[in-house]
Structure 1
Amino acid sequence: MLLAAGCTAADPGPRPDRRSGCGPISFDDVRGTPPTYLERDELDRFPNDHAVCAGVWLRTGHGFVPQGVVVEGRTAFVSGFDGDAPLHYRYCIVERYDVRTGERLDRLDPVAGQVGDRDPLKCRHGGGLVRDEHGLWLVETSRLWLIDPETLEVQRVWALAPPLRGSFSLIDGRGRIGIGRWYPHRPAQVDWFDPGAIASSTVLDITPAMSSGHTAAPRATQGAVWAALGGRSAAAWFAQSVTRCGILAGPDGARRRAFVPGAEGMDLVGDSLWVVSESGTRHYQQLGGRPVVPQLLRLDVSDFGSWRRPQCSV
Structure 2
Amino acid sequence: MRVAGVRVAAALALAALALTACTSGDARPPGGGPGALGPEGRPGCRGVSAADVRGPRIDYAHGPLADVPGSRAMCAAYWLPGADRRLVPQGLALDGDTAWVSGYHFSPEAGARRCALTRVSLHTGRRITGLTPIEGAVGHRDPKACRHGGGLALTREGLWVAETMRLWLLDPDAIGTGRDPVKRVWGIVEPLRGSIMVDSGGRLGLGRFDASGTPQDISWFDVRDLLAPGVLDLTGGTAGPGQAGPVRRDPGRTWMQGGTVGPDGLYLVRSSTHCGQLLLPGGRRVAVAPGTEDIQLDGRGDLWALSEAGAKTFQLRGGRPLVPMLARYDARALMRGPSPTCDL
- Taking structure 2 as the reference length, what is the TM-score of the superposition? 0.82
Q: Quick one: distance in 2 between partners of 1:87 and 1:303?
A: 41
| Residue of structure 2 equivalent to 1:132 | 155
Structure 1 position 197, deviation (Å): 2.3
Unaligned 5+ segments in structure 1 are 8-16, 229-233
Match of 2:337 in 1: 307
**Which residue of structure 2 aligns with residue 14 of structure 1?**
none
1:37 aligns with: 60
Is 1:178–2:205 an aligned residue pair? yes
Measure the CA separation in 2 of the matches of 1:213 and 1:73: 30
1:166 counterpart = 2:204? no
Provide the rounded CA distance (Å) in 2 between the counterparts of 1:124 and 1:64.
13
Deviations 1:69-117 (A, max 9, x none): 0012211100001113523110111111111111111111011100011
Q: Which amino acid aligns with 1:260?
A: A
Identity of aligned residues (%): 38
User: Could you tell me which residue of structure 2 aligns to residue 214 of structure 1?
Assistant: 249
Contact 1:272 1:299 survives alignment (8 Å)? yes
- Unmatched tracts of structure 2, length 5 or more: 13-39, 176-180, 239-244
SS at match of 1:116: coil
- Equivalent position of 2:169 in the other structure: 146
2:333 matches 1:298: no
Structure 1 pair 87–54 and aligned structure 2 pair: CA distance change class (3 A): farther
Q: Tell me the C-alpha RMSD between the 2 structures.
A: 1.9
Q: Which runs of 4+ in 1 moved over 3 A?
A: 3-7, 17-21
Equivalent residues in 2 for 1:59-138 (5 A)?
59-138=82-161
User: How do 1:20-35 and structure 2 match up within 5 A?
Assistant: 22-35=45-58
1:235-256 per-residue CA deviation (whole Å, 9 max, x = no partner) reads: 111111010111001247x200
2:224 aligned residue (196, 199, 218): 196
Could you tell me how far 1:41 is from its partner in structure 2? 2.6
Q: Which residue of structure 2 aligns with residue 12 of structure 1?
A: none
Residues in 2 aligned to 1:113 and 1:188: alpha-carbon distance in whole angstroms: 28
CA distance in 1, matches of 2:298, 2:130: 23
- Give secondary structure in 2 for the equivalent of 1:88: coil
Alignment of 1:274 with 2:311, yes or no, is: no
Amino acid of the structure 2 residue aligned with 1:289? G
Q: What letter matches 2:66 in structure 1?
A: D
Structure 1: how far apart are the matches of 2:186 and 2:334? 37
SS at match of 1:150: helix
Between the aligned partners of 1:304 and 1:24, the Cα distance in structure 2 is 12
Q: Which moved more, 1:254-263 or 1:81-90?
A: 81-90
Aligned partner of 1:286 among 294, 316, 322: 316
CA contact 1:20–1:50 (8 Å) conserved in 2: no
* 1:260 matched residue in structure 2: 289
CA distance in 1, matches of 2:186, 2:252: 24
More strand by share: 1
Q: Which moved more, 1:128-137 or 1:85-94?
A: 85-94
Task: Supply the AA of the counterpart residue of 1:112.
Answer: E
d(CA) in 1 for partners of 2:315, 2:224: 41
- Residue 132 of structure 1: how far off its partner (Å): 1.0
Deviations 1:173-203 (A, max 9, x none): x431001111112212110001122123321
Matched, 1:156 2:217: no
